[in-house]
Structure 1
Amino acid sequence: MQKQLQKITTDMQLEEHFLTLEKALLALYFHKNCTTKSLAYITNLPVPIVSAMKKEFAKQGWGKHSLTKKGQLAISQYFQLSGADAKLYLQLTTNDAFRTEWIKQNKSELNIIYETRPTADVAIDQAKCTVETALKRALLALDYTMLLNKRILCLGDDDFISIALAFILKKIAPHSTTQIVVLDIDRRILCMISEIAQKYELPIKTDYYNVQEPLPKTYAHHFDCVYTDTPYTLIGAQLFLSRAINALKPEAMRHVFFSYSKRSYQKQWQLQQSLHAMGFVIDSIKYDINTYEGAQILGATSSLFVLQTTDQMTPYIPNQRKFMRPIYTGEIERKSVVYQCINCQHSLTVGAHHQYTTIVQLQSSGCPICKNKKFLQIKRTVQKTQFQHALGHHILLELHDCDVALLKDVQRIKTIMSQAAHKAKATIVNEHFHHFSPHGVSGVVIIQESHLTIHTWPEYGYAAIDVFTCSSKLDLQEAVKHITEQFNAGNATQHYVHRGK
């Protein structure tokens, strides 16, 4: 059936992937009857496209506004819906009040399992989410048509999202062929999930994996969606998401449900720049889903990004070799906190390389002098590793609507670029510029601190310029200002990139 859906997508020249057709067919199956307008609302497609889609369904003999017996059988077999609870599916996907109540009623069933989770290992940025959070996250797979007849990866799973996914799956479609895989560095997590899966006959497979190693070929381009709650560092998030890209099937419209701690606006901007560079579309950001048990570093909450893949996915970090840089908070930001016992005033330092690495451990053990379990924070220090400092500063300058005659003048361009280097207070080492036939100029000014480069397209009135330095003392903006003015650009944009950070 998937080949038929792919052919319909091609025949319709549908920009959306065939997964949109799956969503439409599931709606027809569970709702029994769908008007064109209601199906357009469900699939987020324009009415004319939905109308054309229905005609294609009718050509296959599946039905138009409602499914034929042939259509019901085809969809039931494709999604393995034998014994499916249609009423529950509809209520969970269309009724927010029911969904909230259903979570409240069912979380007690999972509480027994979740209470047995291993203690959080803060050295690898673990923080256990609540049962309610796990169910809310798992239900997102249902919302985005990523639960039935799919392959789901939990990349790190101290939150036991795999258990919540399997729990919901058994309630809705007990005979589904959905496969859930857990990859984690913590063998305690893997062992416990494996035991639970075996005991309750859940479709979960577990395997040891250190995300700093390349993703094994067994799991490459294998999954429809990925769940991941990454380290609290930007580089940690970039690495986990890069591995997620490697794991997802190459077609567009796959999903990553990505949880990340709330950060400053500047750090959120850096994160979103990374998401854009990798090719993700941010479908939505959920601020009311993630809550954690005793996670002070997170403020007990985090954001959940629903990311959608495109045809231009590029991992931020390649999958060819082991990633050697530190990725966890404790490695990058070495924190130590001095606490004072409120009873006897005895002071202790908590942090890496100390007897107690977390305040939770100290509170559990109690003051070594009087056994009191209440403490007052006295002092907090943070030492960042050198990886936090950029090795280079890079401006990508885009100049549109420039003086066309100037874009062809190799000598004038050479002069402008040399002057720009001087204005930045750089030391010029060498210069080389070349005029191409019939038009276009490329050139480089090698400076002691790095380089300035240019390539022009006179036929488009456009110039692409790089200004790069490994010295924080140069005034790059003076160079950019001079270049922009001299080329008389009608439209200039620049992108600032920290290199080696």
Structure 2
Amino acid sequence: MHIETEKILTLIAEKAQLSEGVEGVRSILLTMFRFPSLKNKKVSQKTGIAIPALAAVRGELVKARIIEKKNFLGETGRNWIRTHLNLIYERDPLPNNFNSPLTEIPEEFAAINKINEILSNRPEPDFALDQSHATSSTVVNRALYLLKKGDIEGRKMVFLGDDDATSLAVALLNVAEEITVIDIDSNVVKFLSDSATVLSLKNYNVLTHDLRESSPISVLNNCDVVVMDPPYTNEGLRLFLKRAKQMLKTSLNIDGREHKIIGKKCLLCFGNKPPNEMKQIQLSILDHGFIIKEMIPYFNLYKGASILGQFSHLYYLELVESQNMGDKLSLNSLPIYTAELKEKKVIPYRPIGYHFVGEMRFSDQKLLLENDKIQKIFLNALSFADLITYDIFHHNYQPYGFSAVAMLETSHAAIHTWPEHGYISVDIFICDEFPKGLEVIKFLRNQFKPEKSEFLYMERGKGSMIKYESLDLENDNKAD
């Protein structure tokens, strides 16, 4: 989706107070485009959006002159969707079943049949990397599944590891805006790159990269859909989920204001495990901010793959929370493959939490005498960063001075004032996402507007010696 289109739909979602955001608006337009005669109830069922919210969005779309009537796209709406969302199919492209055998693929998708010959030339799987080739029918069915879901047309897609060459099948449909493949195996990268050249694929890019290293800048906060078939371990899954979350678009700047985006999709293929391990797998999915929208057991069939029983499940995931800055950490010593874990490599320390400290100085001391206002700003900062406050303790010193300590769900935060010195100190410790602490600090600085300020952070419980680092508030990041 073009960034200007995303801005328009984001503002429409906000005006309509649609919790599903820009992706919710897109799903409404997609459904109206493919099924123009559906009534509100059916559109609500297909999108999962409540009828009152659906009506509010349609009303805003009419005001924006994107559609002609609340329940009618009209030629205006159809043209807007074709131009701005790059949607092509004005009907369900696979009305009966996406899981059709190769011989039953509709004629308009005949180009995808070229994949059979290409797949016969895939490099031999590297079992040390938990590789095992999916069958040709599985590769095609993954592509058709995504097409039916509306997650290829006009979408920016990233494939995390693709020894199966599913990306080539998707590219042959010729409706994605951009496809990027990231794989650790240079043989796979060469095969995909050479095949893309032979097939004359456009907007298809391949990168050699180990996901245990920090992700390439070009893919950060940039894509609509991630497709992945990670190593057959919970550790490997968690790493891939971290990188997927980092690459999916979760924020958009409109006129200098940051808008959060949720609802981007992830297609995950993962094998069966014993019940207790399957519980951990699904908890890992939830732990990284994804929800399971659909799960199709034994969807993927592999050649060989005795460790998988030759099958794996298909998970259709939706990201419902914003990116975690901690996901950008390099994890190059982390064992993720089955063989590595069997060797019992030591897992490196990860920070338990983040400690932020700050100082603000003022020549005008009037604000520092307004204790009620200071407490309100302090609590608003915590709320703005989605930190849950269990209790608040405060004390007014005589003749002046103020302290407040908030007990948080994820630790604590404190603020102290010395009006006679024109000075405020801040102390925040959270066992939570790094960006939340950063948002608190930025909110306090923007509200108090100190003449001078300095803020530092430290990763706690990491196993290293105590060392505070500077915060780069202008770039929403940890200073290098």
TM-score for the superposition, normalised by structure 1: 0.63
Q: 1:387 to 1:321 in 2, by over 3 A?
A: closer
1:55 paired residue number: 59
1:333 paired residue number: 342
Paired letter, 1:323: N
Tell me, yes or no, if the aligned pair for 2:160 and 2:182 is still in contact at 8 Å.
yes
For residue 43 of structure 1, report the CA deviation from its aligned partner. Answer: 0.9
2:186 paired residue number: 187
* Length, aligned pairs only: 350
SS in 1 for 2:327: coil
1:405 paired residue number: none
2:76 paired residue number: 70
CA distance in 2, matches of 1:159, 1:17: 33
Gapped runs of 5+ residues in structure 2?
106-111, 251-260, 351-392, 397-402, 413-430, 432-461, 464-480
Are residue 291 (structure 1) and residue 301 (structure 2) matched? yes
For residue 34 of structure 1, report the CA deviation from its aligned partner. Answer: 2.7
For residue 454 of structure 1, report the CA deviation from its aligned partner. Answer: 9.5
Paired letter, 2:233: T
CA distance in 2, matches of 1:291, 1:320: 34
SS in 2 for 1:56: helix
2:85 paired residue number: 79
Are residue 255 (structure 1) and residue 265 (structure 2) matched? yes
CA distance in 2, matches of 1:56, 1:121: 52
Which of 24, 30, 33 matches 1:29? 33
- Structure 1 residues 236-385: aligned runs within 5 Å: 236-250=236-250, 251-314=261-324, 318-333=327-342, 384-385=344-345
Q: 1:26 to 1:436 in 2, by over 3 A?
A: closer
Runs of 4+ in structure 1 off by over 6 angstroms are 438-443
For residue 286 of structure 1, report the CA deviation from its aligned partner. Answer: 1.8
Tell me, yes or no, if the aligned pair for 1:104 and 1:132 is still in contact at 8 Å.
no
Which of 163, 166, 173 matches 1:158? 163
Tell me, yes or no, if the aligned pair for 1:34 and 1:66 is still in contact at 8 Å.
no
String of CA shifts for 1:354-401, please: whole Å, max 9, x gaps.
Answer: xxxxxxxxxxxxxxxxxxxxxxxxxxxxxx45659x99xxxxxxxxxx
Tell me, yes or no, if the aligned pair for 1:280 and 1:313 is still in contact at 8 Å.
no
Tell me, yes or no, if the aligned pair for 2:99 and 2:144 is still in contact at 8 Å.
no
For residue 333 of structure 1, report the CA deviation from its aligned partner. Answer: 1.3
2:196 paired residue number: 197
CA distance in 1, matches of 2:211, 2:80: 39
For residue 145 of structure 1, report the CA deviation from its aligned partner. Answer: 2.9
Q: Answer with 1 or 2: which has the greater Rg.
A: 1
CA distance in 2, matches of 1:243, 1:265: 26
For residue 33 of structure 1, report the CA deviation from its aligned partner. Answer: 2.8
Q: 1:185 to 1:39 in 2, by over 3 A?
A: same
Tell me, yes or no, if the aligned pair for 2:115 and 2:136 is still in contact at 8 Å.
yes
Q: 1:102 to 1:63 in 2, by over 3 A?
A: farther
CA distance in 2, matches of 1:154, 1:71: 32
Paired letter, 1:55: G
Q: 1:259 to 1:226 in 2, by over 3 A?
A: same
1:8 paired residue number: 12
SS in 2 for 1:113: helix
Are residue 132 (structure 1) and residue 137 (structure 2) matched? yes
CA distance in 1, matches of 2:124, 2:279: 32
String of CA shifts for 1:271-294, please: whole Å, max 9, x gaps.
Answer: 222222222212222213111111
2:206 paired residue number: 206
Tell me, yes or no, if the aligned pair for 2:162 and 2:228 is still in contact at 8 Å.
yes
Tell me, yes or no, if the aligned pair for 1:278 and 1:313 is still in contact at 8 Å.
no
The alignment's C-alpha RMSD in Å is 3.5
Paired letter, 2:33: Y
CA distance in 2, matches of 1:13, 1:193: 43
Tell me, yes or no, if the aligned pair for 1:279 and 1:314 is still in contact at 8 Å.
no
Tell me, yes or no, if the aligned pair for 2:246 and 2:323 is still in contact at 8 Å.
no
SS in 1 for 2:60: helix
Tell me, yes or no, if the aligned pair for 1:282 and 1:306 is still in contact at 8 Å.
yes
CA distance in 2, matches of 1:17, 1:327: 34
SS in 1 for 2:298: strand
Tell me, yes or no, if the aligned pair for 1:332 and 1:387 is still in contact at 8 Å.
no
2:255 paired residue number: none
1:371 paired residue number: none
For residue 308 of structure 1, report the CA deviation from its aligned partner. Answer: 1.1
1:122 paired residue number: 127
CA distance in 2, matches of 1:264, 1:274: 15
Q: 1:442 to 1:29 in 2, by over 3 A?
A: closer
String of CA shifts for 1:300-355, please: whole Å, max 9, x gaps.
Answer: 0112222211234437x632334212211111115xxxxxxxxxxxxxxxxxxxxx
SS in 2 for 1:318: helix
Which of 125, 128, 151 matches 1:146? 151
CA distance in 2, matches of 1:304, 1:313: 24
Are residue 46 (structure 1) and residue 50 (structure 2) matched? yes
Q: 1:76 to 1:266 in 2, by over 3 A?
A: same
String of CA shifts for 1:43-94, please: whole Å, max 9, x gaps.
Answer: 112222222322222223312333222212111101334xx454xx5141x3
SS in 2 for 1:55: helix
For residue 29 of structure 1, report the CA deviation from its aligned partner. Answer: 2.2
For residue 110 of structure 1, report the CA deviation from its aligned partner. Answer: 2.2
Which of 63, 67, 90 matches 2:92? 90
CA distance in 1, matches of 2:224, 2:332: 25
CA distance in 1, matches of 2:135, 2:83: 35
Tell me, yes or no, if the aligned pair for 2:293 and 2:318 is still in contact at 8 Å.
yes
SS in 2 for 1:206: strand
Gapped runs of 5+ residues in structure 1?
171-175, 335-383, 392-434, 444-452, 456-465, 467-498
